[in-house]
A and B are shown apart, each in its own frame.
Chain A
Amino acid sequence: MSTGAPVEAPFSEERLLALLDMEKMTLSSAARPAQGASERWMRYLGFPGGIVAFLLLYYLPFGPSLSGAAQAGIACFVLALVWWVTEPFPTYVTSLALMFLLLTTRAAGAKAIMDVLGLEVIWLNLLAFILSAMLVKTRLARRMALWLVVKFGSTAPWALFAFLLLQLILAPLIPATAARCVMTLPLMLVVAAIYGSTEETPNAFGKNLMLLNLVGISVLSSMSMTGSSANLIAVGLIQTMGGHKLYYMDWMRLGAPIAILTTLAMWFLGPKLLFRIQPSESTPRIPGGIEVVRQKHAEMGPLALGEKKALAIFGLVLFLWMTDVFHLRWFGVEISAPFAALLGAVIVLFPRWGVLQWSEADIPWHLLIFSAGAYAGGLALDDTGAAEWAVRMLFGGFDLKALPFGVAYTLIISVMMYSHLLTTSKTVRTMIMIPIIITLTRSLGWDPVSFALPAALCIDWVVGLPISGKPNVILFSTNQYSVMENFKYGMTTCTIGVALLVVSAATWFHWLGVTPAFWSLPQ
């Protein structure tokens, strides 16, 4: 790793110190300014475009198998999707509009819509932000970020690789993706700033950093069956409906190589192809370069008392997150991820012993509202049967009977992979897709596990849109990239994943006995 001097240094030392003083950095609720004429036009036409999409879907006759509520739910969700993508106004305003439309079109009831603010995921987000504020307030995040840059971040590729490695280590330890995202977000913000990427002046490094972390957090969850609760639901469905018991290693030997290879591919391709990092951006953009960062790290001295407290509290929460399978045996009750974070928040906010006051916790309510709207829309699609109807229509459109395994497999895996664009919940998508895949492939004469297990490996790949998952919402709020840039990066990731899964089915999945010969025909 070289320590090349920066070509251009837009930050003074004072500016760097201001950026490192993350207490002043909040996740802005202001709308991201449009970049370029095409984006301005997209915003201008996005609003009427969303309305046109809504009206088309609301009034077109789709036949008696689609309920009125489901049709209204699809129309509302697509309207919101267009507005989220084109951003005629901030994403949380779209979420509020969506919630109102769901009620007035009778796609969902008032209680179901309001209840989303009580969902586990919303609580986890809220509490994780309190823990994140603790890391910032005690300057532990600053210390960790500086250390990370000093050790690995003298050039952009290595700084990115350090985060990839960090997410790879955290993935099997903390199943909650939002928790993983929030605990590493302060580090991302500081490292992005050191490389000259801020909310006001995002650059290619910032885009690569945020989106690579998004891919790392989501895709690496598919390494093991315990990577997310949706994975475990899929395992249960494969066992009960597919009649095949899956063991930990059955999943890991297939999922881990695909996930790691894809993440490495994005680490390589992102800065070289999607968001090219110019040579001037590939080193810390501060006067004095890495030496100044090293100096600032040294100036922090030994751990302060607040930092030690923060480490202890975070360690306790981390311990509870990592040991959730033992809770029932130890405590007689399972302390789920939000409740572990809740305990952490209690200690953090405790008078004298804690490290934070409520007013110091930077809770981004606009993010929670955005999430709530997205979840209300997603749940409406599920509850009304709209999502299931869409999947059945899609599979009904293919004549899979006469197709060789490889072609049917490619179609089904592609549908599974890209279907995350239409849902906001991995669990819901799993509950809809996996049973359909099992019954469909069995009726075609295939062993359902040959399709269902590789399809289950796609569950966590929810990287296409800012509404596709919890980490997506959190990282998007940094305003370092646009919806279209998220889409481009996410679709590239998913396409690499599909290609790897197809090649694997033709080769080592078959050698392991998971899939039949690629060109074989159904029995």
Chain B
Amino acid sequence: MRTHWRLIVLLGWILSVIGASAAGADPAAISRYELRLDTRAQGPARASLSLVLDRIGGEIAVIPFPFADVSDLRLAEGPAGTLVASTVVNGQASLLLTLPGGAASPLALRLECDVQKVLSEATPAGRTARLTLLNTQPEPIRDLRLSITFPEGLRGHAIREARPAPGKAEAGPRAVLDAIDGRSGARLQVDSLPQGETAALRVELARAEPSMAWLLAGLVLGALYLVSFRDLVRPPAK
């Protein structure tokens, strides 16, 4: 049933794009894109996507999305009657919004869904949280904010990837680790992501409580040294 629904929406989208092109209409312009991912140690992550569409090109808006494996997708805030669906075209995931007639820009919406594969499998070195968004739309995505909160008991060990690289006139790093709603997390912010550009955030995670092995090794080594090197502080023999 879901597959049929997706096909219908996709067909509608293709037709509307063709129609819009023929009529000379512009695609939707995203002036704010804020995606928050709340990861859990087990199971899918909960995604919350807040959007502001500055211009609505037609009844269907295509929103680039980092994940193809989407479930429990719903509209949390926005005009009543808006239909939402996820699709994958040429390997690129997108959300399709079918807007009700009379929806005017600027239009604020919030979508929620569950997504898979945000966290890698656990290894002895830890886990990795990853998020990659490719702007497949002609218009740049402005004010793009991506954030990930880590599962309880894990902390950011290192930001291994943060794209796009900061420009010469930008101060500070592209992505930072931060507290998000009282939990450890990471944020990435881009003023404008042009068509074809990718925003990516990859964070290596480690246990929030470090191993006690260093403490043990340090104390033993320190004590051994103090005993073995006592002669250093003996006055030199005359």
Using CB atoms and an 8 Å cutoff, list the residues of chain A in contact with chain B: 34, 37, 40-41, 43-44, 47-48, 51-52, 54-55, 58-59, 63-70, 88, 105-106, 236, 240-241, 384-385, 388, 435-436, 438-439
Contacts and interface: CB of A to CB of B under 8 A. Distances in A.
B80 interface: no
Interface in B147-183: 155-159, 168-169, 171-173, 176-179, 183
A105 B210 CA distance: 10
Contacts of B184: 64
Nearest to A71: B210
Given A37-B235, A41-B233, A55-B215, A439 B172 contact: yes
Nearest to A384: B158
Contact of B222 (A40, A48, A105, A388): A48
Given A58-B214, A70-B158, A385-B173, 13 more contacts: A44-B233, A54-B218, A55-B219, A59-B215, A64-B185, A65-B177, A66-B177, A67-B159, A69-B204, A106-B157, A236-B168, A435-B172, A436-B172
Contacts of B232: 34, 40, 43-44
A34 B225 CA distance: 17
Contacts of A385: 159, 173, 176
B235 A68 contact: no
B72 to A, nearest CB: 28
A185 B183 CA distance: 55
Contacts of A63: 179
B157 A69 contact: yes
A106 B235 CA distance: 41
B210 A58 contact: yes
B233 A40 contact: yes
A98 to B, nearest CB: 15
B226 interface: yes
A436 B173 CA distance: 11
Contact of A51 (B204, B221, B235): B221
Contact of B171 (A34, A70, A236, A435): A435
Contact of A68 (B155, B171, B219): B155
B171 A436 contact: yes
Q: Would you list the 5 A-B pairs with minimal beta carbon distance, nearest first? A: A48-B222, A68-B157, A69-B158, A435-B171, A64-B184
Contacts of A388: 172-173
Given A52-B222, A55-B215, A241 B157 contact: no
B229 interface: yes
B206 interface: yes
B14 to A, nearest CB: 44
26 contacts: A37-B235, A41-B233, A44-B232, A47-B229, A48-B222, A48-B226, A51-B219, A51-B221, A52-B222, A54-B214, A54-B218, A55-B214, A55-B219, A58-B214, A59-B215, A64-B179, A64-B184, A65-B178, A67-B177, A69-B157, A70-B158, A106-B125, A106-B157, A236-B168, A240-B169, A436-B171
Contacts of B223: 48
B158 A68 contact: yes
Nearest to A47: B225
Given A41-B233, A64-B184, A59 B176 contact: no
A388 B159 CA distance: 14
Contacts of B171: 241, 435-436, 438-439
A336 to B, nearest CB: 22
B210 A59 contact: yes
B232 to A, nearest CB: 4
B185 to A, nearest CB: 7
A240 B179 contact: no
B158 A55 contact: no
A208 to B, nearest CB: 27
Nearest to B204: A69
Contacts of B157: 67-69, 106
A66 B184 CA distance: 10
A69 B125 CA distance: 12
A343 to B, nearest CB: 33
Nearest to B213: A104
A44 B229 contact: yes
Contacts of B125: 106
Contacts of B159: 67, 385
Which among A41, A68, A241 has the greatest number of chain B C-beta atoms within 10 A? Answer: A68
Contacts of A64: 155-156, 177-179, 183-185
B64 to A, nearest CB: 28
Contacts of A67: 155-159, 177
Contacts of B235: 37
B179 to A, nearest CB: 4
Given A64-B156, A65-B177, A241 B169 contact: yes
A388 B233 CA distance: 39
A68 B156 contact: yes
Contacts of B233: 37, 40-41, 44
Of B157, B173, B219, chain A has the most CB atoms within 10 Å of the CB of B157
